[in-house]
Amino acid sequence: MKDNSTWLNILEILKNELTEAEINQWLSPLNIKTLNGNPIILTAPNKFFKTWVEDNYLTLIKKTFKENLGLKSDIDIIISIENKDDQTIRTVSVERNVTTTDTTFDLPLNKRFTFDNFVVGTSNRYAHAACSSLISGKTTANPLYIYGDVGLGKTHLMHAVGNEFKERFPKYRILYTTGESFVNDFVTSMRLSKLDSFKQRYLNIDLFLCDDVQFIAGKSRTMEEFFFTFSQLYATQKQIVLTSNTSPNNIKELDPRLSSRFTSGLMVDVSTPSVEEKEAIIKKYIEIEDLTTQRFSDDIIRYLANNLKSDSTREILGATLRIFTLASIDNEDITIQFAEKHLKDFLMKRDKTLSPDSILELTAKYYQLKVSDLKSKNRSKTIALARSIAMYLIREKMSLSYTEISSIFSRDHSTALHAVNKITDELLTNHELEGTINVLLDKMKLIH
Ligand code: ADP
Ligand code: MG
């Protein structure tokens, strides 16, 4: 198992150079067979993987071995399923749950992309519901078309559908591919005059998952073949799920016959997550990846959710992993200062002038009070309310801990927690309060 963890480390390092999707798709299914010696031998689940990785990633892999492990050996890739007696390799590929079938162009499903590991929120509610309804057979959505910006969970949901079908209906033939891989498969099949087996492969399935389908656009022969495949599967009532970075009508150079087919089923989008969703996703990620040796406090998670520049879940999780790795290496606590220092390029430019003081001033002014009233022990109704609102706003905007906020008001550490909870509860029903908070939030936007 030692080699397995070396490979996982290499993948971790490669995350700096490649997208997570590339790593999941192409490199996770590989493994190290022998590390000592020249060449280093890696195993791939099938020929297509071997060629693809050799053509696209071998130089980078070699460089990473050299720079991080000091290994200058050449690297050879062999196909693992040819070597059926090799128990070690078999166990490893079972562990990773790589679907190795005899079809060369199938891509593996990522075992970790499950419904259980997916956080549902307003940004992805419909997409999630549509995917789950496929499983329960409660829908006739065909095709199901999921679209949205990169990093928002489309691939995750698609794999979740595949994984769930695989578990519930073991006899189902599932084919997961990407637009890019479909193009390659088609072009290769043409070149080798193997179009028949290509057709055979794509038609002989029950569930067709095609991720990032936009990649077929602009390639007329491929689109024609895709149209044929689609129509045949559709006519025989096979479920089709597609994802894309945009709606069918916005894909440039997509055959109109395809966009009309793609729009004919159910289209759902995924949008950028709210701060609360980001927090929940980060928490889930920490749990799944077991990033627990270094403690992520709720304050840090909230800080990350509030301050990271990108709304892409992929990048948010990347930053979380980065901070975890750096803290583990130096064995440091993950504090806001630590995160600030190490995530500089990933953080939003902080509004320099928005501070607890400016929030206090704004709130006091709104209620025609003085800042000193808010900080005083006076418990008259208006002052107490204004004080609680100020605590709530500082918490919303400044990512300070409750203890820190309480101390601004010279209060016991749990005071801010109670005040913020009270306002949060109250906001659910009290529209006047909601209006006040919105006015104050708007005013804060004007501070420069
Ligand atoms: P897309 O295909 O839309 O570009 P991915 O599905 O590859 O995005 O998601 C990027 C990363 O973010 C993956 O690691 C995925 O597991 C994670 N992710 C995205 N959305 C969620 C979510 N709602 N809950 C948990 N993880 C998520
Ligand atoms: Mg994707």
- pTM (2 d.p.): 0.63
* Candidate from 156, 180, 286, 322 with most ligand 1 atoms within 8 A of CB, to mutate: 156
Query: What Å distances lie between residue 289 and 285, 319, 321, 325, 366, CA to CA?
Result: 6, 14, 9, 12, 46
Q: Which two tokens stand for residue 388?
A: 């609680």
Which of 23, 146, 275, 314 best tests ligand 1's pocket when mutated (most atoms within 8 Å of CB)?
314
Give the pair of three-digit tokens for residue 289. Answer: 């990846």
Nearest Cα to Cα of residue 202 among 191, 217, 212, 222: 222
Determine the Cα–Cα distance for residues 255 and 220; give it in Å rounded to an integer: 8
Q: What is the pLDDT of residue 80?
A: 78
The answer, yes or no, to whether any atom of ligand 1 lies below 6 A from the CB of 123, is no
pLDDT of residue 187: 92
Count Cβ atoms below 10 Å from residue 85 Cβ, excluding itself: 6
Report DSSP state, residue 81.
T
Whether 397 and 359 have beta carbons less than 8 Å apart is answered as yes
Q: Measured from the CA of 273, which atom of ligand 1 is nearest?
A: 23
Q: Which residues of the chain have pLDDT under 70?
A: 1-4, 81-106, 349-353, 447-448
Report whether 144 contacts 240 (CB < 8 A): yes
Interval between CA 191 and ligand 2 midpoint (Å): 28
Between the alpha carbon of residue 286 and those of residues 152, 293, 338, 366, the distances in Å are: 18, 10, 18, 41
Closest CA to ligand 1's atom 6: 153
Per-residue pLDDT at 351: 55
Specify which residues 239 forms β-bridges with. Answer: 207
Long-range CB contacts (within 8 A, 24+) of 95-101: 95/4, 96/28, 96/29, 98/29, 98/45, 99/166, 99/174, 99/176, 100/45, 100/46
Gap from CA of 379 to ligand 2 centroid (Å) = 54
Ligand 1 centroid – CA 152 distance (Å):
5
Selection from 327, 271, 338 nearest residue 304 by Cα: 338
Q: Which atom of ligand 1 is nearest to the CA of 159?
A: 6
Helix 381-398 to helix 415-427 angle (10° resolution) is: 90
Ligand 1 pocket check for 408: Cβ under 6 Å: no
Is residue 118 lining ligand 1, measured as CB closer than 6 Å?
A: yes
Write down the pLDDT at residue 106: 64
**What ligand has the least distance to the C-alpha of 113?**
1
Ligand 1 binding pocket includes 119 (Cβ within 6 Å)? yes
> Closest-lying ligand to the alpha carbon of 273?
1
**How far does the centroid of ligand 2 lie from the alpha carbon of residue 356, in Å?**
40
Ligand 2 center–CA 248 separation, angstroms: 16
Q: Whose CA is nearest to atom 5 of ligand 1?
A: 153
Q: Whose CA is nearest to atom 7 of ligand 1?
A: 155
Residue nearest to atom 20 of ligand 1 (CA): 153
Residue 245 CA to chain centroid, in angstroms?
14
Helix (H) or strand (E) holding 324: helix 313-330
Question: What are the residues whose beta carbons fall under 8 Å from the beta carbon of 251, sequence distance 6 or more?
Answer: 214, 217, 244, 259
Distance CA 17, CA 26 (A): 14
For residue 50 and ligand 1, the question of a CB distance below 6 A is answered with no
Beta carbon of 283 within 6 Å of any ligand 1 atom? no
Ligand 1 lined by 124 (C-beta under 6 Å): yes
Ligand 2 centroid, distance to 354 Cα (angstroms): 37
Per-residue confidence (pLDDT) for residue 50, from 0 to 100: 84
Q: Which helix (H) or strand (E) holds 79?
A: strand 75-79
Phi, psi of 297 (to 5 degrees): -75, 165
Is any atom of ligand 1 closer than 6 Å to the C-beta of 354?
no
pLDDT, residue 51, reads 81
* CA-proximal residue: ligand 1, atom 27 (nearest): 153
CA of 350 to the centre of ligand 2 (A): 30
Task: Return the structure tokens found at 421.
Answer: 């909870």
Torsion angles phi and psi, residue 312, rounded to 5: -75, 125
User: What's the CA-to-centroid distance between 313 and ligand 2, angstroms?
Assistant: 11
From the alpha carbon of 270, which atom of ligand 1 is closest?
Answer: 3
pLDDT at residue 399 in the model: 76
List the beta bridge partners of residue 175: 208
State how far the Cα of 68 lies from the Cα of 258, in Å rounded to an integer. Answer: 46
User: In the structure encoding, which two tokens stand for residue 89, read together?
Assistant: 């390799």
The single-letter code of the amino acid at 35 is L
- Report which of 189, 336, 173, 185 is spatially closest to residue 239, judged by C-alpha positions: 173
CA distance 159 to 85: 29
| Residues bordering ligand 2, an ion, CB closer than 5 Å | 154-155
